[in-house]
Amino acid sequence: MTGIRFGYADSSLGQLHYAECGTGEPVVLLHQTPRSWDEYREVLPLLGATHRAIAMDTAGFGRSAPPAEHGIEHYAAAVLEFLDALGLDRVSLVGHHTGGVVAIEVAASAPERVERLVLSSTPWVDAASREARATRPPIDHVPVSEDGEHLATLWRRRQAFYPKGRPDLLTRFVRDALVLGDDVEAGHHAVGQYRMEERIGKVSAPALCIGASADPHAFPQLGALSSRLNNAKVVIVEGGMVPLMEEHAEEVVRVIARFLT
Amino acid sequence: MTIWTELADVDFRQAYVDAGGIRTRALQAGPEDGEHVVFLHGTTGHLEAFVRNIGPHARRYRCHAIDMLGHGYTDKPDKPGEIPAYVEHLLAYLDAVGAKKAHLVGESLGGWVAAWTASEHPERVATLQLLCMGGTKVNPEVMQRLKTSTTAASLEDDIELTRKRLRLLWAEWDDDLGDELTEVRYDIYHRPEFQKNLHNLLALQETETRERNLLRPERMARISAPTLVVWGNKNPFGDVPEAHAIADAIPGARLEIFPECGHWPQHEQADRYNPLSLEFLAEAS
């Protein structure tokens, strides 16, 4: 982990944990559910070559203090407090999956704080999606069993969405998920309640939508999201799956860096 | 050569028809009292797939090349594009134009819709032409390629991606109309309504949905309409054995394989296709 430095920022919720690398224009990276800054472990030193890359543990995840309640608006408010604590007036935001939803809310609620927006594998959530998500079974929540079988179930549920031959990535996922205990589903639930159609119109920052062609849930929604943003650019990473940031860090950083200049 | 010059001698109309509440673009040509022939394009396609066929067919038949539900410039309701929805829309169009019965010519997805219609509503279908028909197989590699290439062409700015998407279809690049068809498709693909609707448009490229809508031999066996199956031997989306399987499954079906031909036999080899189709239609009347 060359050059990654860790820190805590004070907020009304308590301490917010982050990892950063590099100097220059600040870029804040927001992870998916149920991950942490570790989702950006490969990206940080690469993006850190040209920017000040900061991966935050979303409030309620990793080592960050929990919000009063889980919800996209609460996560976004914590991001803004985080920016205040670090003295960052204006940043670019990168969000992957849930992280992208949070980034949208930050950009909608405080447009003056957001330079550019990169939304990677970010879902489009409207009334029809909210209804569909309400009846979906839990994505990551598995009841604990005395013999540890729940750990295997947690692993296997994600396995189909991960590249073959990368148990290290599944290990990192499981490690992050275990920290959350029963709250592991909270981020997914938060996305499923978000009224994106009411907020998207307030996003003025130039946006780039990244689609991972082998992410079966996110990819089909790429057009639904990009077409509703103002002049959003779209880039597709072929063969990218759910852990896009870890598997395709070099390509993603190339795309992001090109967009941010 | 342009689409305009292809149609220069044809008395045609581009109409927007209310088909059961779906505003439907249709290219209509031919004698008002002629037998109806409806041309149905393929996945993510549009009625321009039949520009080389309208003229010759409109001499005798009342022709309708339509943009199917969710496609081209036709309305795009927010629901997954499954075959029964396409069939319902087609029937609503037939009702709207007063066609009790029609000859159906379907390419790829259009063939899938036409065959399904013939199996469920035989009284509405005079004859059936299935050109490189899709829907009989679940091929995850082909499905993934279609999803990715269409999404890229629709959402990324580069028109080359749309050109690439068309290049996929044909055995040889169409020097006459290829660039123009690229521009047409690019415009359609880049309309926000189209981009918003991509997940519905590509619903049949998801395995679970596709299985539910698959054209199985039992269904094809129910088809009573005289049927012509046309296949290009260089069809990138399905090999010749698939064509034989279809022709075998449909009672009395006739099979024609076009050599050096891809996914659009009606366009790539219009000079071969038009007389074949006209002969088939005349025979059946």
Compute the mean pLDDT over every residue in chain A, rounded to the nearest whole number: 96
Tens digits of per-residue pLDDT, B260-279?
999 999 999 999 999 999 99
Nearest alpha carbon to residue B38 among B52, B55, B26, B21: B26
ipTM over cut 0.85? yes
What is the domain-level CATH number for residue A68? Answer: 3.40.50.1820
- Using a CB-CB distance cutoff of 8 angstroms, which residues of chain A are in contact with residue B148? 213, 236, 238
Nearest alpha carbon to residue B91 among B54, B109, B66, B62: B66
A:127-166 residues touching chain B, CB 8 A cutoff: 128
Q: What is the model's pLDDT at position A254?
A: 98
Residue B168 has pLDDT above 70, yes or no: yes
Tens digits of per-residue pLDDT, A230-240?
999 999 999 99
Please count the structural domains in chain A.
1
Tens digits of per-residue pLDDT, A55-109?
999 999 999 999 999 999 999 999 999 999 999 999 999 999 999 999 999 999 9
Q: Does A213 touch chain B (CB under 8 A)?
A: yes
Residue B71 has pLDDT above 80, yes or no: yes
The amino acid that residue A70 corresponds to is H
Q: What is the model's pLDDT at position B19?
A: 98
Residue A182 has pLDDT above 90, yes or no: no
Pinpoint the alpha helices (H) of chain A: 43-47, 72-85, 98-109, 127-134, 149-159, 167-180, 186-193, 196-199, 222-226, 244-247, 249-260
Q: Does B192 touch chain A (CB under 8 A)?
A: yes
Tens digits of per-residue pLDDT, B182-220?
999 999 999 999 999 999 999 999 999 999 999 999 999
Compute the mean pLDDT over every residue in chain B, rounded to the nearest whole number: 97
Nearest CB to B202: which of A220, A226, A235?
A: A220
User: Hey, of A225, A226, A231, A233, which one would you mutate to test binding to chain B, going by the most B CBs within 10 A of its CB?
Assistant: A226
CB A236 to CB B156 under 8 A? Answer: yes
Q: Write out the residue range of the structural domain in which residue A125 sits.
A: 5-260
Q: What is the model's pLDDT at position A2?
A: 63
Tens digits of per-residue pLDDT, B109-133?
999 999 999 999 999 999 999 999 9
Query: For chain A, how many helices (H) and strands (E)?
Result: 11, 8
The model's confidence at residue A134, banded by pLDDT at 50, 70 and 90, is very high
Q: C-alpha angle B73/B76/B77, rounded to 5°?
A: 160
Q: Do residues B194 and B76 lie in contact, with contact meaning Cβ atoms separated by under 8 Å? A: yes
Q: What is the model's pLDDT at position B285?
A: 76
Q: Do residues A220 and B197 lie in contact, with contact meaning Cβ atoms separated by under 8 Å? A: no
Q: Does A12 touch chain B (CB under 8 A)?
A: no
Tens digits of per-residue pLDDT, B35-46?
999 999 999 999
**What ranges do the domains of chain B cover?**
3-284
Residue A213 distance to chain B (closest CA, Å)? 6
Tens digits of per-residue pLDDT, B74-88?
999 999 999 999 999
What percentage of chain A has pLDDT greater than the value 90? 97
Nearest alpha carbon to residue A226 among B152, B193, B155, B188: B155
Pair of tokens at residue B204: 């049949």
B:119-178 residues touching chain A, CB 8 A cutoff: 144, 147-148, 151-152, 154-157
Burial class (CB in 10 A: 0-12, 13-18, 19+), B74: buried
Name the CATH topology of B3-284. Rossmann fold (3.40.50)
